[in-house]
Amino acid sequence: MKVQRWIQAHTTPITWVVAVLIAGGYLSKWLQAPRLYAGLLALASVLAVVPIAMHAWQALRVRVVSIELLVTIAVIGAFVIGEYNESAIVTFLFLFGNLLEQKTLAKTRSSIRSLTEMAPTTADRLRADGTTETIDVDDLVTGDVVVVRPGAALPVDGTVADGDGYVDEAAITGESRPVHKTVGASVYAGAMLSNGFLHVQATKVGDDTTFAKIVELVEEAQDTKSHAEKFIDRFAQYYTPAVLVIALLVGLVTRDLRLAITVLVLGCPGALVIGAPVSNVAGIGNGAKHGILVKGGAVMDDFAKIDTFVFDKTGTLTQGRPAVTALTTFSGDEDEVLAQVAKLESLSDHPLGQAIIQAAEQRGLQYAALPLAASEVIKGEGVTGTIAGHRICAGNAKLLARHGVALTAAQQTALTTLQQRGASSVLVAIDGALVQLIGIADQLRPEVPAALVALKKAGALHLVMLTGDNRATATTVANQLGIDEVHAELLPADKVAYVKKMQAAGRHVAFVGDGINDSPSLATADIGIAMGSGTDVAIETSDVVLVQANFQALVHAYQLAKKTVRNTRENVVIAIAVVVFLLIGLIAGFIYMASGMFVHEASILVVIFNAMRLIDFGGRQKNQKLDASA
């Protein structure tokens, strides 16, 4: 066992020694020393076949006929008939090919590796006396406070307990842009503190952090096989022993040992076995770098086939929180009135009121100090009060009617237009006359229209919106976006029914939702895409997780899936073409063992290089989106 481990660890130097021996052999041939030539090459063969034979034996013990076994038998055969040069070169090419394969494979896996390396292994824990101690991250428990210094990665998920700083959350969201974090803000493990100083109280540690979950998900995904991979695996399971049998038959029939061992070498299914998985690994790795978690090769396959995208409206196409979108002032100063309304609304916790307060704050209005008296919140109607001697009411038409406020024809028209656009309205009256009309709506994400056009260009045929919202609002949103089909006023169960109906009509449906209240639809669709949340539920029920709520990521994911599947196909075609070429070469007599092995190893590198093109697909993401944590 010791010897085995030593050989495994020293395969690289062994390969180089073999190379030197072969070079020495050919040098002595050139120097007219045939004995030395044969001796050196025989030595090279023996040395090189040891690690290969070892692998072959280990695999055989678990009943796997491996490529190594084919090569080992071929080399022994070549040795027997005295073809030392062939055996030496074949084994060297095989070892050297493996070496290159290892290096290039490492490249295709680099995305996920660079991700895991972002997580720190130690943390500075704050002790009760204010000093810090450096401990292993595995020893941290929730509630611990850790000190994070600039340039360091956060070791835990938690909330900022003290200090402030700019945090780059690229590892979690794929978006490289520093976000300002102050006391009370949530921060995630794996994020980088670019400047500032933070004390973070841990809420999740170790394997429970969002970052650890993402890493685990991606690792598992890279090993979840696509349909093509599963097929090839099954194929290889029978193919390799079949080659052994065929070679044996060829040997028995033709009595030509040389031909038989050539068949063994040519039959190695190298590029075929590596081609499909390597594309998926690179594709999934690319996704992870862009904040897109694709759960495996099979998901890639299905995603690439999607022709219908079904969107949930609230929180997906829109930002999911109401905001002031229209402000019409009939008399008085706009900001002055808005400030008074904000003061009034600070009494209620109604979402519309919150939107107004937010708007006032965004305009920098000082409303908090306004003297409010005789205020009253009337449920289902609005708020009333007296500010600086003036009676002010803010609410719906019912409230104003009760206070005897009448709307002029122009005001009525303005209100109707607002409602037709799908916005909710707050009417403001001062001393019995309407002074302001505030329109509040859930705003579209700014990048959505362009992203939907890009989706169509990438191959999506139908864009559908399903929503629980009222028809007027839904239609307005759909018209703004160029959505093909809208269904409004739906319950979660209705959404599932629509998804099923589309599937029954032969469409391949992806459902895009926020992952919180639409899990049934996410699970029913061919591909469930959860957007903007790294929550456990979203990760569990969906096939693709977009860590940040951003439609550009959705477009990238869709293009990436198509690209990955095409790359897999290219690789399979390359692999099959190589085998066909070798067969023709064998029959035509221009391919022998060594040249066959060379073509094999070269084709393996070709498929790996082809897959590597996926790693940089799409480049770095542009930083023009919304802050996911906002």
Partner 1 sequence: MTKKLTLQLDELTCPSCLTKIETAVKNQPGVETVKVLFNAGKVKAQFDDSQIAADQLTRVVSDLGYEVKSSKVTEA
Question: Which are the catalytic amino acids?
Answer: 312
Burial (0-12, 13-18, 19+ Cβ within 10 Å), 329? middle
CA angle 178, 179, 181 (to 5 degrees): 130
CB of 5 to partner 1, least distance (A): 5
Per-residue x/- track, 125-144, partner 1 (CB under 8 A): -------------x------
Query: Looking at 102-110, 348-356, 361-369, 562-570, which segment touches partner 1 (CB under 8 A)?
Result: 102-110
DSSP-assigned letter for residue 365: -
Residue 228 or 486 having the CB closest to partner 1 = 228
**Please, are residues 289 and 396 in contact by the beta-carbon 8 Å criterion?**
no
Per-residue x/- track, 224-243, partner 1 (CB under 8 A): ---------x----------
Handedness of CA 553, 559, 565, 567 (dihedral sign): negative
Residue 1 or 493 having the CB closest to partner 1 = 1
CB of 68 to partner 1, least distance (A): 7
d(CA 452, CA 456): 6
d(CA 425, CA 395): 8
What amino acid is encoded at 353 in this protein? G
Residue 116 or 176 having the CB closest to partner 1 = 116
Residue 105 or 429 having the CB closest to partner 1 = 105
Q: Does 222 bind partner 1 (CB under 8 A)?
A: yes
**Please, are residues 115 and 218 in contact by the beta-carbon 8 Å criterion?**
yes
CB of 619 to partner 1, least distance (A): 23
- Segment 541 to 570, residues that bind partner 1, using CB under 8 A: none
CB of 111 to partner 1, least distance (A): 11
d(CA 171, CA 211): 8
Count of residues that interact with partner 1, criterion CB under 8 A? 34
CB of 281 to partner 1, least distance (A): 5
**Please, are residues 176 and 130 in contact by the beta-carbon 8 Å criterion?**
no
How is residue 590 written in tokens? 């221009």
**Please, are residues 159 and 185 in contact by the beta-carbon 8 Å criterion?**
yes
Residue 455 or 612 having the CB closest to partner 1 = 612
The two most distant CA atoms of the chain are separated, in Å, by 117
CB of 8 to partner 1, least distance (A): 4
- Segment 265 to 284, residues that bind partner 1, using CB under 8 A: 273-274, 277, 281
d(CA 471, CA 600): 62
Q: Does 195 bind partner 1 (CB under 8 A)?
A: no
- Segment 55 to 84, residues that bind partner 1, using CB under 8 A: 55, 58-59, 61-62, 64, 66-68
d(CA 9, CA 5): 6
Q: Does 621 bind partner 1 (CB under 8 A)?
A: no
Query: Looking at 2-10, 40-48, 165-173, 312-320, which segment touches partner 1 (CB under 8 A)?
Result: 2-10
Residue selected from 117, 223, 256, 334 as contacting partner 1 according to rule CB under 8 A = 223
Q: Does 98 bind partner 1 (CB under 8 A)?
A: yes
3-state secondary structure of 439: strand
Residue 8 or 366 having the CB closest to partner 1 = 8
Q: What is the DSSP string of 251-271?
A: HHHH--HHHHHHHHHHT--HH
Residue selected from 17, 19, 54, 135 as contacting partner 1 according to rule CB under 8 A = 54
d(CA 119, CA 214): 12
Closest CA to 141 of 205, 230, 233: 205
CB of 219 to partner 1, least distance (A): 4
Residue selected from 168, 219, 485, 494 as contacting partner 1 according to rule CB under 8 A = 219
Q: Does 1 bind partner 1 (CB under 8 A)?
A: yes
Residue 109 or 445 having the CB closest to partner 1 = 109
Per-residue x/- track, 5-44, partner 1 (CB under 8 A): x-xxx-----------------------------------
**Please, are residues 568 and 226 in contact by the beta-carbon 8 Å criterion?**
yes
Q: What is the 3-state secondary structure (H, E, C) of 299-342?
A: HHHHHHHCCEEEEEHHHHHEEEEEEEEEEEECCCCHHHHHHHHH
Q: Does 109 bind partner 1 (CB under 8 A)?
A: yes
Residue selected from 75, 89, 105, 264 as contacting partner 1 according to rule CB under 8 A = 105
CB of 128 to partner 1, least distance (A): 28
Residue 7 or 185 having the CB closest to partner 1 = 7
CB of 113 to partner 1, least distance (A): 9
d(CA 529, CA 545): 6
- Segment 279 to 338, residues that bind partner 1, using CB under 8 A: 281
Q: Which residues pair with 226 in a beta bridge?
A: none
d(CA 317, CA 441): 13
Query: Looking at 87-95, 98-106, 463-471, 551-559, which segment touches partner 1 (CB under 8 A)?
Result: 98-106
CB of 157 to partner 1, least distance (A): 18
Q: Does 595 bind partner 1 (CB under 8 A)?
A: no
Q: Does 118 bind partner 1 (CB under 8 A)?
A: no
Distances (CA, A) of 588 to 184, 584, 592: 75, 6, 11
Distances (CA, A) of 63 to 59, 237, 240, 268: 6, 10, 12, 18
Q: Does 207 bind partner 1 (CB under 8 A)?
A: yes
Strand segments (E) across 445-534: 462-466, 485-487, 509-513, 527-531
Residue 106 or 406 having the CB closest to partner 1 = 106
CB of 64 to partner 1, least distance (A): 5
Tell me how many helices (H) and strands (E) the chain has.
23, 20
Closest CA to 178 of 195, 202, 161: 195
Closest CA to 297 of 574, 602, 564, 591: 564
How is residue 433 written in tokens? 């006359």
CB of 246 to partner 1, least distance (A): 20
Query: Looking at 216-224, 248-256, 367-375, 458-466, which segment touches partner 1 (CB under 8 A)?
Result: 216-224
**Please, are residues 527 and 306 in contact by the beta-carbon 8 Å criterion?**
yes
Return the axis-axis angle of helices 351-362 and 334-345, rounded to nearest 10°.
140
Residue selected from 80, 81, 106, 141 as contacting partner 1 according to rule CB under 8 A = 106
Residue 233 or 431 having the CB closest to partner 1 = 233
How is residue 144 written in tokens? 């611990």
Q: Does 615 bind partner 1 (CB under 8 A)?
A: no
Residues found near partner 1 in the complex (CB under 8 A): 1, 4-5, 7-9, 54-55, 58-59, 61-62, 64, 66-68, 98, 101-102, 105-106, 109, 112, 138, 207, 219-220, 222-223, 233, 273-274, 277, 281
